[in-house]
Structure 1
């Protein structure tokens, strides 16, 4: 009897990439194995290695192929519309279709091989280049740095849904994001006489007793910096101890584990968010004033504590299960309260739409404070406030008002 071998699907490589994007985006690079991805595709691990030699190469291909596809669609939109207005329209829809890709780029870029990291940066710069040409054509009076800043803000708005569950049907979400993008580009940017953002420089000398008293705070600050730049999984207790000037085991006098350190850092961010919301509501004489106060506080917090803000986006998934659930609840409640505040200022806006706008404004801040191309501006916080306020005041129109 003749036996027929199972034919290999012609799109198996694409199936592997799609499964890998989903796995890396939800479980993280270090939390995903090649066996996990092979199982998701329905093949053996050796069969997976016939396509990709290791997990790092697979991560690189996920981003490079996804960005190449995105660039092809954006370039086609640019050719189809000489004014360039089709570019942001298409970007929003690509980002909604490929929700895992933006998240993967933001969270796992540091785990790429050096050559892939450079190749991804080249593609992202090309992507923002399309946006820069459109923005320059729309607002020729803007300087080059202003155009670049707004291009990155537009990219953040388009990618913002990748960090949360969809609350609206995709067409309605796209309509709201289109309005937010238009608001970004029409923002009147403030001017500052300062040419650079001056950050405080910590001195290694000082009162020894004070240093001992604040050692746990220094440990938290250094752990936040290391987790933000390298990733939680790549940082050891010894790394944190060396950054503070103590032996690794000395940290156990203050914290029970590395996970406890991360938990305390995330709790700090939770406390700041609650404080910002409470102060905005208590001190504002109107909903509009409270909204402005909250946006200023959030932008200032991001500029002052970029590592703390970044960790809650990129590293919270490494918390123990109950802590992860607590953080997600706090974040969800914070966005809901911020959305209700926006709805109080704009009663015509349904709450799900308000939350989309709030998340877009918050994502602009979260992304911008981690972008070295932007954060040297002397008016950085003021610019983020202006952009965030304009996003939240974006006119939605009737299509976005359906509940």
Structure 2
């Protein structure tokens, strides 16, 4: 307890051995609770945190916590919608800016920089908005969706001023890509000074705004899933588990449901192939991580230089993500449910992959620091999953466009032919 939160009573009797300390609640207790809960939810997910965990982290009792919030959901809801409001308010241009309009590029930059600032300020909680919002109850989820749409519309309006030739769908793709790049900082723990980070992300967003999108495809190309023979039960279980985790969230899926989806008569049959639900998740994640890491060596060996190698890796990453959309999404949303020892292995694989991409990128753009290159690599990865969940197989967000946008994020231009 700090000195400011103490008061000392006078001795009532001269024989008292010591003054009695009177404890007072800090005036900012709700803010402390919100910050602690955001950190806990961001680290362990909504389902991985209890009110007791949050209270313990603050050094208070559960009863004291319940005096401020009636439930874990109330804490979760308040924090998500608070961050949603902060992001929404950040994209509102000041009245003076509306009365004396700046050139379109400057107006876009103002909105982008303000949104980046709000995201940096709320970085621990933005991860909740990105990946845990689906656990909100329907009215609250609608509110969060409306907040996010307001942000997207602000970006789209500025884009329309800058590039009036864009179609509505083109603007939708570009604005979603910019928001993805900005909020991708919630997906990792790399650090940069705030001014450097604003400058880096702003530059990437303006490069996206200028991107020369290839023509949209006329029809959607839906990847055809490879047929798995019934005898390959371990593969079938893996696929069905990932599909269920994607549709409903890992905590809401039982082993019995996975067994049923794979055509097994009982949950006990799953244990012939996997130790449990978390083992299924870990196996899927190992496959996703190794798909990315395993492509690096061959790409570098076959390429004429670092840009060609990265361009090849971008193509491999996008094609793999499109082929396994559910797995790509689950990899981002359910990582905290992987057993701790597996998380360490997976983080090491991912870290080495990011480092190799960042090393190649710095050979193409030597002006970047190692940290800046890592931020851009994370942003490029996030862009793929975000466009996938926003537009699925819509032809205006097809692979050719996603590949080009990854190139623009990394190189600030399309890759050289």
TM-score, structure 2 normalization:
0.87
Contact 2:213 2:401 in 1 (8 A): yes
**In structure 1, C-alpha distance between the alignment counterparts of 2:91 and 2:22, rounded to whole Å:** 41
Q: Counterparts in 2 of 1:297-336, with a 5 A limit?
A: 297-336=316-355
Correspondence for 2:295: 276
Picking from 144, 148, 173, the partner of 1:149 is 173
**In structure 2, C-alpha distance between the alignment counterparts of 1:227 and 1:283, rounded to whole Å:** 37
Contact 1:266 1:312 in 2 (8 A): yes
In the alignment, is residue 94 of structure 1 matched against residue 94 of structure 2?
no
Correspondence for 1:171: 195
**In structure 1, C-alpha distance between the alignment counterparts of 2:88 and 2:23, rounded to whole Å:** 35
- The unaligned stretches of length 5 or more in structure 2 are 1-11, 13-18
**In structure 1, C-alpha distance between the alignment counterparts of 2:95 and 2:69, rounded to whole Å:** 33
Picking from 47, 50, 56, the partner of 1:39 is 56
RMSD of equivalent CA atoms: 2.3
Q: Tell me by how many angstroms 1:43 deviates.
A: 3.3
Q: Counterparts in 2 of 1:48-197, with a 5 A limit?
A: 48-76=65-93, 80=97, 82=101, 83=104, 84-85=107-108, 86-197=110-221
Correspondence for 1:393: 411
- The unaligned stretches of length 5 or more in structure 1 are 204-209, 396-403
What's the secondary structure of 2:70's corresponding residue? Answer: coil
What's the secondary structure of 1:133's corresponding residue? Answer: helix
After superposing the two structures, state which structure 1 stretch, 279-288 or 93-102, moved more: 279-288
Correspondence for 1:224: 242
Q: Tell me by how many angstroms 1:7 deviates.
A: 4.4
Structure showing greater radius of gyration is 2
**In structure 2, C-alpha distance between the alignment counterparts of 1:136 and 1:335, rounded to whole Å:** 34
What's the secondary structure of 1:326's corresponding residue? Answer: helix
Contact 1:78 1:130 in 2 (8 A): no
Change (3 A) 1:76 1:37: farther
Change (3 A) 1:62 1:79: farther
TM-score, structure 1 normalization:
0.90
Q: How many residues align?
A: 388
1:94-153 deviation digits (Å, cap 9, x = unpaired): 111111122111221122112211111111111111111111111111111110111111
Contact 2:246 2:329 in 1 (8 A): yes
1:208-235 deviation digits (Å, cap 9, x = unpaired): xx73322221111111122223222221
Change (3 A) 1:201 1:166: closer
Q: Tell me by how many angstroms 1:193 deviates.
A: 3.7
Contact 1:340 1:351 in 2 (8 A): yes
Contact 1:60 1:112 in 2 (8 A): yes
